[in-house]
Amino acid sequence: MAKAELLLLAVVSTLSVLPFSSLAVYQDFCIADLAASATPGGYPCKPAKDVTADDFHYCGLGSPGTALKPFKISLGSTIVTMFPGLNGLGISAERMVMVPGSATPLHSHPGGTELIYVVEGSVVSGFISAALNRVYTKTLYVGDLMVLPRGQLHFQYSHGNATAVTLSSFSSDNPGLQILDFALFANDLPTEVMNKVTTLDELQVIKLKAWFGGRG
């Protein structure tokens, strides 16, 4: 095979493994085709002829969002599966409402860094460094920002006697979410195993599993 043919084969092979969302870098946009399967790089592009202005618009953050009753917070989020226009752009958003006495549980976003902005009220925000096991906390007021690095366990709790509202942006169109409490107690790991790996006594484990909907 001629050198030119080998070079062409190498280029085509390389392009074939590029993530679909990388197309957003080389064209105006790549609206997610949610009818197709997601790839490690995102969704394939919706045909340009089928794209409308609605693909670039989302109104889901105007309401309080889903209530997490144990923690007294409401979350509204927009990721690529809800807002296909985000595909390949490396951004997403979240709105949180916190009443006095509320808190977000320890959680992480394995796929993206979070930038939190306070719209109303005030909150205490912090994260735990995985490398140093050091806690960084700050009280945030209206107009303040705090960056929460990707993958680090972090939290917020209300500060003062007024309801707080925050907006967060993420460096990914789908940053992922793992809530520590649900990871530990909303699963079907047997209670005796949980007792061994957490040092919590079995009655505590049973209580927490019942609270968070776990089994075993």
pLDDT digits (tens, 9 = 90+) for 154-191: 999 999 999 999 999 999 999 999 999 888 889 899 98
CA separation for the pair 185, 208 (Å, rounded): 6
Strand partners, 77: 94
Confidence of residue 5 (pLDDT cuts 50, 70, 90): very low
CA distances from 14 to 23, 44, 58, 118, 170 (A): 14, 17, 35, 43, 29
Domains and CATH numbers, the chain: 61-79+90-176 (2.60.120.10), 182-212 (no CATH)
Neighbours of 149 (CB within 10 A): 16
Answer whether residue 4 shows pLDDT above 80. no
Nearest in space to 144 (alpha carbons), one of 128, 161, 159: 159
Answer whether residue 17 shows pLDDT above 80. no
Answer whether residue 15 shows pLDDT above 50. no
What tens digit of pLDDT does each residue of 60-76 get?
998 888 888 889 999 99
Annotated binding site for Mn(2+): 107, 109, 114, 154
* Cα angle 107, 112, 118; round to 5: 70
DSSP 3-state helix, strand, coil percentages of the chain (rounded to 5)? Answer: 30, 30, 45
What is the CB-side half-sphere exposure of residue 27 using CA atoms within 13 A? 14
Where do runs of H (alpha helix) occur along the chain?
3-16, 23-26, 180-185, 191-198, 202-212
Annotated binding site for oxalate: 109, 114
Q: Which residue has the higher pLDDT, 7 or 143?
A: 143
CA separation for the pair 201, 205 (Å, rounded): 6
Neighbours of 95 (CB within 10 A): 20
Annotated binding site: 107, 109, 114, 154
> First CA to last CA across the chain, in angstroms?
61
How much is the pLDDT for 20? 43
Q: pTM of the prediction?
A: 0.83
Choice among 11-20, 137-146, 172-181, 201-210 with the minimum mean pLDDT: 11-20
CA separation for the pair 122, 127 (Å, rounded): 17
